[in-house]
Every structure is written in structure tokens, then in C-alpha cells.
């Protein structure tokens, strides 16, 4: 017998003895029942009964515990958005150009004859171009309460454009798209894309629409990075910048949280190195990744108020005995996470999640990072600035004084953000955000002020909604945007 076979036999014997000990209490012991684990098998069975690649309705999960506000995310119908196809190559930061590309987009309001009232709205990681309801798609969008007549993005004044980013899966070119050179899905042969690449594609769309200058570049989360990148790439074409719960330099903690999501997703056997199209998708990994993401999107204080330590109700409970705990979701917060993962796992493409989250990790506007990636500061902004922490009229305030102990990278960041020195910028942070902490928004505002931007407006919002505040706090987020754009 070979050594390998001997090792295998010993391991099997050890496993058998352990299993025997676990079930030695009674010869009639029943196999444990774990609905939360068995749900994965049920979902997989449903998927096998459908045409591979189609999206069945989600498997029923445990109690959804939908007792609080949730943003409306949904897979849009391809007939409900416009698609701009560009047959020319798209230059990429880290790879050879894409030979051609598509950008899915939707619009609201009317473009002025001078084409000077356009606002480019950038999305979060998993959002589509459907930011608000339209005639083609009357379903509420992910920023429904922020777009419309008299709202933060006032369609009586502005022409709003929202795109699905390159790398996404809702109409724009991404890993699930067909590679024109092979006739098959790109899968993980899709090139690594950067935030800058996404913005370059958006500006190609603007060129197609005949829009030379944006009134404003507005974004939240991933979109907050894009709004800064738009100003960095094209300072002469961006009139104002709004960056909400974003950053100019991804922090190690945010990178770690996104890495954990990618890890559980890529560990799903169905992921198959990214080549799962026309096969079973990595639905279990997607569900677990979404649960991790949801933890980073909200806050402990909100969940304490919303769920506390409440347990899910049980059908049979003896008044004479304590409630029997379960290894599957037992606390309401657990049922909430289970529901969030279940609702998301078949709505979004796994490879798009991997690629876009990686692009977020790579985003870094420090001068040293830009230089390492051969990103050249536009010549109009290339003069070396005088960096200073001295307060000035429109800069630091009592609520946000100059940093007493600035982080080591702040000067490097300020040098990299030179192109934004003359663009009026609104930076919004949320104190309960654990994904894009307020320190990241503070250093963005500080770096802009150090480089001489006298038109920085910075606000920190309270509340308990964490990172998702930008989706839910219409009064404060919407009010700040409306005031800044007016």
C-alpha cells in the first residue's frame, strides 16, 4: 500500500471513530436538522431545474426581520435603460485596452440648449443605472427620494445621468459580457479595471452626448471615489464635486473587509475560477459575501435599536423549560443577515463583485501611488503647491480644525490631489460608518485644503445607519447636496 493510501485510510478511520462518538448516545439518534445549511441545497436544486444562467426567485429564508429602512436594489430589465456602444478601444490602467465597450445609462430631466446643466451621478458597488423611476422603468430606484422636481438633484434645473460602471453586470461591459475576440464570456479573463477606467468610459459617453462640461460630478461610496477621479482626470470639465461616504485613498480596514467577501466567494466550488457562466453560479459564496458586506454597511447602534437581543419566535415552547437555542439563525439580527444574503445572492454577478471591489481597494490618489501606476497629473495642475495647515476663511472650522497629528500619508495625498485645487467640493462623512470611516473623509477635505482649495465644504452627519446613510437620510444628505449645488 502506498504512503498516500495509508494516510487516507488512517484519516477515514479517525473520522469514522469521531462520528461514532458523536452519535453514540443512541442507536436511534436522528440526524441534526439545519435549515440554514439545507437552504443552500434547496437553492441549488431550484437552479438545476432552470436554464443555467436564468435567475429564479430567491429561496425563502428565515424571518426577514424587515423592521427598518432598506434601499431598493433590483436587477433592471435590459429594455429599461439605454446602452452606448463605443467601438473604439478603452485604455486601461493595469492591462491592454478593451477592444470595445458598452455603457448602460439612464437620464432624468432635460439637457439645456447650452448643455451646461448635466450632473453625472456615480453609483455604489452593486447598484445599477436605475437611480430613480423612469417611464421605461417605473420601479423605485436606489436614490428615488433624491432625484426629481425640487429634490436634491432637481430635475427642474439639472439633467441627471447615471451609468452602470464598466466591470458591472447591469448592461455595461464586464466579466459576464461576451468577449468579441472569442465569442464566449470574459469571466476572469476580463482585465483588472480601476476607478479611473470606469470614469474614462463615462466621459466617452459624455462625449457621445455632446456634453463638454459637467455642472457637477456626484457620487456616494464607490461613487464618491469616482466623483473625485472625474475631477482628477478632467479638472477642466467638472464644475463641482460631491463625494459622500467616499475616500481618496482606500484604507487597510476597508481593503480587509472587501477581501473577506472575495475570499468566501472564491472558495465556493461553483465559482470555478470565475468560469461558471452557463453553469451553477456560486450562490452560497455570494450569500456569505453579502452577509459580511451588510455588517459593514450598517452600524451596531442601529441594530441595537432595531433588533436588540430579540430571538425569533418558536412554534413549540414549554413554559417550564428555557428556550432551546439553535445553531441556525436564532437572534433576529441573524435572521436579518440571512435574509439580506438570500435576497442578493442571485441578483448580482459574482465576478463583478470581485472586480469592482478590487478596483475600490486599488484606488489611491497619493502622488506616490499615482506615479507608480504611471498616472500623470494633468499639466494644468502640475505646479508644486504650497502645502499648509493654516486655517482660512472657507476651510477649517471649530467642528473640524486642522489635524493636530496628521497621518504620514496626508502630504503625499495632498500632492496627488493638485488637479482638484480649484474645483468647489462637498465632502460628506457619517460618524457611524465603519466601512468608510469619517477619518477618510476628513483627510480628503484636509488634503484639498492643503493644496489650496478654498471652496471645500465638509460636513459630518450623525445618525445610526452607518455607511448606508447616503441611501436613507434624505433630509440631511439631500439638504447638503441641494444647498451645495444651488
CA distance 196 to 122: 13
Q: Which three cell numbers stand for residue 269?
A: 466550488
Distance of CA 6 to the CA centre of its chain: 49
Q: Is 45 one of the annotated active-site residues of the chain? A: no
The catalytically annotated residue of 433, 446, 468, 473 is 433
> Is pLDDT above 50 for 11?
no
Known catalytic residue at 60: no
Q: Considering the entire predicted model, what is its pTM?
A: 0.87
Query: Of residues 58, 126, 128, 221, which has the active-site annotation?
Result: 221
Q: Are 166 and 198 in contact (CB under 8 A)?
A: yes
8 CB contacts (<8 Å, ≥6 apart)? none
- Spatial distance between the Cα atoms of 394 and 113, rounded to a whole number of angstroms: 33
Cell match 482649495: residue? 453
pLDDT tens for each residue of 187-214: 999 999 999 999 999 999 999 999 999 9
A 10 A CB-CB count for 92 gives 18
∠ CA 31-32-34, nearest 5°, is 135
Q: CB-based contacts of 365: which residues, under 8 Å, 6+ apart?
A: 228, 229, 232, 248, 249, 413, 416, 417, 447
Strands 82-86 vs 216-220: parallel, antiparallel or unpaired? unpaired
Q: pLDDT for 394-423, tens place per residue? A: 445 555 666 677 888 999 999 999 999 999
Helix axes 222-233, 350-362, angle to 10 degrees: 50
| CA–CA distance, 448 with 415 (Å, rounded to integer) | 9
Domains, the chain, ordered by start: 2-75+259-315+326-356 (1.10.1740.110), 82-255+362-376+389-485 (3.40.50.1820)
If phi > 0 it is left, if psi is from -120 to 50 it is alpha, else beta; for residue 54 that is: beta
> Which pLDDT tens digit goes with each residue over 69-118?
676 667 788 889 999 999 999 999 999 999 999 999 999 999 999 999 99
Answer whether residue 350 shows pLDDT above 60: yes
**Which of 250, 396, 467, 473 is the catalytic position?**
467
Tell which residue, 307, 318, 312, has the closest CA to residue 330. 312
Which residue is associated with the grid cell 459593514? 296
Write down the pLDDT at residue 109. Answer: 98
User: How many CB atoms sit inside 10 A of residue 33's CB?
Assistant: 9
pLDDT tens-digit readout, 355-378: 999 999 999 999 999 999 988 776
* Contact (Cβ atoms closer than 8 angstroms) between residue 36 and residue 303: no
433 is catalytic: yes
Strands (E), 98-220: 101-108, 118-122, 147-148, 153-154, 159-163, 216-220
Amino acid at each position: 500500500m502506498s504512503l498516500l493510501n495509508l494516510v487516507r485510510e488512517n484519516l477515514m478511520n479517525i473520522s469514522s471513530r469521531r462520528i461514532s462518538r458523536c452519535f453514540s448516545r443512541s442507536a436511534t439518534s436522528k440526524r441534526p436538522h439545519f435549515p440554514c445549511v439545507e437552504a443552500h441545497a434547496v437553492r441549488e436544486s431550484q437552479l438545476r431545474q432552470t436554464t443555467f444562467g436564468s435567475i429564479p426567485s430567491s429561496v425563502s429564508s428565515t424571518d426577514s426581520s424587515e423592521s427598518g429602512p432598506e434601499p431598493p436594489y433590483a436587477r433592471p430589465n435590459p429594455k429599461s435603460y439605454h446602452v452606448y456602444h463605443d467601438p473604439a478601444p478603452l485604455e486601461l490602467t493595469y492591462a491592454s485596452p478593451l477592444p470595445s465597450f458598452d455603457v448602460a445609462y439612464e437620464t432624468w430631466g432635460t439637457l439645456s440648449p447650452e448643455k451646461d446643466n448635466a450632473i453625472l451621478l456615480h453609483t455604489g458597488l452593486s447598484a445599477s443605472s436605475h437611480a430613480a423611476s423612469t417611464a421605461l422603468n417605473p420601479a423605485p430606484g436606489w436614490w428615488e427620494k433624491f432625484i426629481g422636481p425640487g429634490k436634491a438633484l432637481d430635475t427642474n434645473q439639472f439633467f441627471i445621468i447615471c451609468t452602470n460602471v464598466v466591470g458591472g453586470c447591469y448592461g455595461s461591459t464586464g466579466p459576464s459580457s461576451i468577449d468579441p475576440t472569442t465569442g464566449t464570456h470574459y469571466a476572469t479573463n476580463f482585465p483588472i479595471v480601476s476607478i479611473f477606467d470606469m470614469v474614462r468610459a463615462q466621459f466617452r459617453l459624455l462625449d457621445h452626448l455632446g456634453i463638454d462640461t459637467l455642472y457637477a460630478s456626484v457620487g456616494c461610496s464607490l461613487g464618491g471615489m469616482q466623483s473625485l477621479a472625474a475631477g482628477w482626470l478632467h479638472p477642466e470639465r467638472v464644475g463641482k464635486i460631491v463625494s459622500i461616504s467616499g475616500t481618496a485613498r482606500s484604507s487597510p480596514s476597508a481593503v480587509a473587509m472587501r477581501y473577506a467577501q472575495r475570499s468566501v466567494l472564491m472558495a465556493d466550488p461553483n465559482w470555478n475560477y470565475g468560469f461558471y457562466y452557463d453553469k451553477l453560479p456560486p450562490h452560497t459564496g455570494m450569500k456569505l459575501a453579502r452577509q459580511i458586506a451588510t455588517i459593514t454597511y450598517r452600524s451596531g447602534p442601529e441594530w441595537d435599536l432595531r433588533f436588540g437581543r430579540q430571538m425569533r419566535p418558536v412554534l413549540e415552547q414549554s413554559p417550564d423549560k428555557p428556550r432551546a437555542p439553535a445553531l441556525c439563525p436564532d437572534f433576529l439580527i441573524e435572521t436579518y443577515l440571512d435574509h439580506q444574503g438570500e435576497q442578493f445572492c442571485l441578483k448580482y454577478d459574482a465576478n463583478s463583485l470581485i472586480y469592482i471591489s478590487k478596483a475600490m481597494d486599488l484606488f489611491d490618489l497619493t502622488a506616490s501611488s499615482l506615479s507608480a501606476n504611471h498616472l500623470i497629473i494633468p499639466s494644468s495642475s502640475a505646479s508644486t503647491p504650497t502645502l499648509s495647515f493654516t486655517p482660512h476663511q472657507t476651510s477649517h472650522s471649530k467642528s473640524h480644525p486642522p489635524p493636530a497629528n496628521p497621518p504620514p500619508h496626508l502630504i503625499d495625498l495632498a500632492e496627488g490631489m493638485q488637479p482638484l485645487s480649484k474645483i468647489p467640493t462637498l465632502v460628506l462623512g457619517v460618524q457611524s460608518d465603519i466601512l468608510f470611516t469619517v477619518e477618510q473623509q476628513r483627510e480628503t477635505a484636509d488634503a484639498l485644503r492643503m493644496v489650496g482649495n478654498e471652496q471645500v465644504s465638509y460636513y459630518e452627519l450623525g445618525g445610526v445607519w452607518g455607511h448606508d446613510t447616503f441611501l436613507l437620510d434624505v433630509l440631511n444628505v439631500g439638504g447638503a447636496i441641494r444647498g451645495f449645488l444651488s
